[in-house]
Amino acid sequence: MQSVFWFLAFIGHGALWVELVNRLHGLGWNRKLIDFFTQLCGAACCGLPLVAAAILLLRSPGEAAPSWLVAYAWLSIAALAVVAVTRVGLHWDPSRDRRTKITRVVPVELHAKLGRGATRDRTLDRIATLPGNTLLRPQLEHLTVPLERLPKPLEGLRVAHLTDLHMSGRLTEAYFAELVDEVNAWRPDLVCVTGDIVEHTPQLEWVDTTLGRLESTLGSYFVLGNHDAKIDAAELRRRLAEAGLVDVGGLLAAVERQGETITLCGDERPWFVAEPPLTGAESLVLCLAHTPDRFGWAVRQSVDLVLAGHNHGGQVCFPAIGPLLCPSRHGVRYAAGTFRRGRTVMHVGRGSGSLFPLRYNCPPEVALLTLTKG
């Protein structure tokens, strides 16, 4: 029984620190501070088991383990129990939307199309093509989304959603150009880009040749995310605006179709503090939010549809367990998918690009949402 006790404590210890890191990355703190505490958490996660093992192995025969270590072991087991119950409960989460239907999924084999032109160098190409790695196999997902307040003239409105491109140079300009081509082939009414667009300053030059080529009848709109704050965010906004995209970060915009108004707003909090001045809008309201942690605010504001990203679907999803890492105050609850609370629906994309070069059971995503009354 002793070995079972310490084994469960070890697993719970890992779960405890992973959950702490998840919630840490949902905060709007300075990026360097977040990175510092993440490294501390990593050191604790790796170091404490080594300390515990040394204490247990070096103690005298019959000597009890230190009381602090036993107390921490029980804390870890309690954390494991909470995480396990929470994970099981997610399968019956009442906010998970069961009315939205995924009608079509089209995988795009970008490595077959671009070869080594999809990644920066040979090393990344080898990582990207590891067995099971879906980094270069984005999925084009078609969803039918029922909205309670959808006016009849807006029936069938098609909204393309890209998020978390992370243009860093690891994935090439050609990769993102291919995604844009796929979006344009849909001929959407609206295109929404929900943050973490450009990772490094040199990739600002890619805006014109990628997102600047987006085509839609009612325009393309964007908000920024936490990674966009690492570079000159004002310059990124300027580049995107010059490329023809409309900035709705902390702002409102309105478009019309067949006499019906669609109000678009952008919520970039907690990394950019401006709150969109949304009060009592009578028209259909579509909110671009980088993090799904803004869902509660959107529900209180009676937003009809929220598009978000940030969580990358967890990046790596384990069979029967799902994702472990998810930078959200809600842990993995809103890792990816569609959620509904009251009349508000939220779609969380898995990310259209990636900074970390591994994706397992979690391919990149570009979504086309067709809105219906319901």
pLDDT in tens, 303-355: 999 999 999 999 999 998 889 999 999 999 999 999 999 999 999 999 999 88
Sorted by sequence, the CB contacts under 8 Å of residue 11 that are 6+ apart come out as 76, 80
How many angstroms from the chain centroid is the CA of residue 88? 21
Q: What does the pLDDT read at residue 320?
A: 82
φ, ψ for residue 76, nearest 5 deg: -65, -40
pLDDT value at 281 more than 80: no
% of residues, the chain, pLDDT over 70? 100
Residue 259's pLDDT band (boundaries 50, 70, 90)?
A: very high
**Percent residues over pLDDT 90 in the chain:** 79
Instruction: Give the relative orientation of helices 67-90 and 2-24 as an angle to the nearest 10 degrees.
Output: 60
> CB of 263 within 8 A of CB of 252?
yes
What value does the mean pLDDT take over residues 77-97? 85
Amino acid at 41: C
- Taking residue 329's Cβ as centre, other Cβ atoms within 10 Å add up to 16
52-70: pLDDT as tens digits: 999 888 888 888 889 999 9
| CA-based R_g, the chain, Å | 22
The stretch 91-113 carries a mean pLDDT of 86
Please determine, for residue 29, whether its predicted confidence score (pLDDT) is greater than 90: no
Domain ranges of the chain: 2-90, 101-373
Average pLDDT in the 90-114 region?
A: 86
Tens-place pLDDT, residues 129-145: 999 999 999 999 999 99
| Structural fold of domain 101-373 | Purple Acid Phosphatase; chain A, domain 2 (3.60.21)
Assess whether pLDDT exceeds 90 at residue 238: yes
**84 — pLDDT class (breaks 50, 70, 90):** confident
Cα–Cα dist 122/128, whole Å? 10
Nearest to 292 by CA among 355, 233, 337, 353: 337
Q: What is the rounded CA–CA span in Å between residue 8 and residue 11?
A: 5
Residue 30 clears pLDDT 90, i.e. is over it: no
Residue keyed to tokens 């569609």: 338
Query: Tell me: the pLDDT tens digits for 202-227?
Result: 999 999 999 999 999 999 999 999 99
Angle 285-288-290 (CA atoms, 0-180°, nearest 5)? 150
Region of 321 please: left (phi>0), alpha (psi -120 to 50) or beta: alpha
**What pLDDT, on the 0 to 100 scale, is given for residue 91?**
72
Task: Name which of 178, 173, 197 is nearest 109 in CA terms.
Answer: 178
Q: Is pLDDT of 162 > 90?
A: yes
Report whether 284 contacts 151 (CB < 8 A).
Answer: yes
Beta bridge partners of 106: 140
| pLDDT value, residue 60 | 85
In order of 45, 190, 225, 254, 282, the CA distances from 278 in angstroms are 42, 20, 20, 12, 11
Cβ-based neighbours of 317, under 8 Å, separated by 6 or more: 323, 360, 361, 362
